[in-house]
Chain A
Amino acid sequence: MPPEASVESHHFEALGTNCSLFAVGQSRARLVEGEFWVRRLGARLTRFTPDSELSRLNSSAGRWMDISEDMESILRAALRAYAMSSGLVNVAVLPSMLAVGYTRPLVDGPAVAALGGVGPLPPLPDVLEIRGGGARVAAGTGIDLGGVAKGWMADRLCNALGPNSLANLGGDLMAVGDGPSGEGWPVGVAGATLSLRNQGAATSSVRKRRWGELHHLIDPRTGLPARTGIEEVSVVAASGFEAEVIAKSALLLGPDIAPIYCAARAMAWWLGGTHDG
């Protein structure tokens, strides 16, 4: 076994969660640059500030709006996620999020839920249109990029941090290269340790960001918090983005279909808290 290389690490809070960056053969300054990138992009993608790029897009009432290159890439990734999941991962979830009371960061507490007008989400391609440098969101709808953005950002961060690095943004992570010992990056998945090389991992759960009977993970088929019979899914896949899409899709599919779905799409998977939906 080759000698273990020294790992530079950097931890910080951003995107409403804990973030960790690791790299072999890079300076700490490089990791701090990564933190700044996360903060800058996070400020553009948040729906909790009215002047963010995402909030302006959501409030553009169907008009075309100029968007940044990163925003365009993430929105295109959101459309890919929708297609990959046959509609189960749908970022056109903002009206449902607001209806269940998730109107502000949960550290400030949820608002009162008003579920009366909630229904199935519209197809994302009907809500979101993208052209080079521009996008529009249909009037009366809205998008929340959530975990799709975190997985996408983890993948991008690893590209920037170097060929042997790992980015973990609130549990959505990407690991590239052979890790510190040459055997991959040792990553905890559901209590076990797996060596990841050029692979991502993500966890989707209804156990966190929960208040009373409500939680943040919306089932696009109902527009309401998911009740599928699985409480948490962790997945290893080819990228952080793919892992996020597969984990959320599996959770929404429920305990009968999720094992088959994961066997076809994921490299490793854990289904937790399964019960009759």
Chain B
Amino acid sequence: MRLFLIKAVATALTIGATAVSAVFVTTHLKNPAAPLQPAVLNAGNGSSATSLDGTLTVGPSVQPSNAAPITSTYAS
């Protein structure tokens, strides 16, 4: 009889915890409008543009500039 009671209590606790968890999760939905960190948001879709005979892709950690370049990278 005592063993049965222990099993019944354990089962009831498990079911109760599951039910409470389900309620908690459904009442704390992630805000779908919450922004990702900027680096993550932009990492996969940096700006791309056709440049010379190829495509230049610029990630979020590099800023395009309108200034005249002081020097360049090039093949040597």
Which residues of A are at the interface with B, using a C-beta cutoff of 8 A? 7, 9, 16-18, 20, 22, 166, 168, 170-173, 179-181, 183-196, 199, 201-205, 207-209, 232, 234, 236, 243, 259, 262-263, 266-274
Contacts and interface: CB of A to CB of B under 8 A. Distances in A.
A168 to B, nearest CB: 5
In order of increasing CB-CB distance, the 7 nearest A-B pairs are A188-B72, A205-B75, A272-B54, A188-B69, A170-B76, A186-B67, A201-B73
B27 interface: no
B54 A181 contact: no
Contact of A263 (B57, B65, B73): B57
Contact of A199 (B51, B62, B69, B70): B62
Contacts of B68: 186, 193
Contacts of A181: 67
Contacts of B1: none
A271 B69 contact: no
A268 B70 contact: no
Q: Is the interface of A mostly helix, strand, loop or mixed?
A: strand
Interface in B44-76: 44, 46, 49, 51-59, 61-76
B52 A272 contact: yes
A166 B71 contact: yes
28 contacts: A22-B71, A166-B70, A168-B72, A183-B65, A183-B67, A184-B63, A187-B69, A187-B71, A188-B73, A192-B49, A192-B56, A192-B64, A193-B67, A193-B68, A194-B58, A195-B62, A196-B62, A203-B73, A205-B75, A208-B75, A263-B46, A263-B57, A266-B59, A268-B57, A270-B51, A271-B54, A272-B52, A274-B54
B32 to A, nearest CB: 26
Nearest to A21: B71
A172 B53 CA distance: 21
B51 A190 contact: yes
Contacts of A20: 71
B3 to A, nearest CB: 57
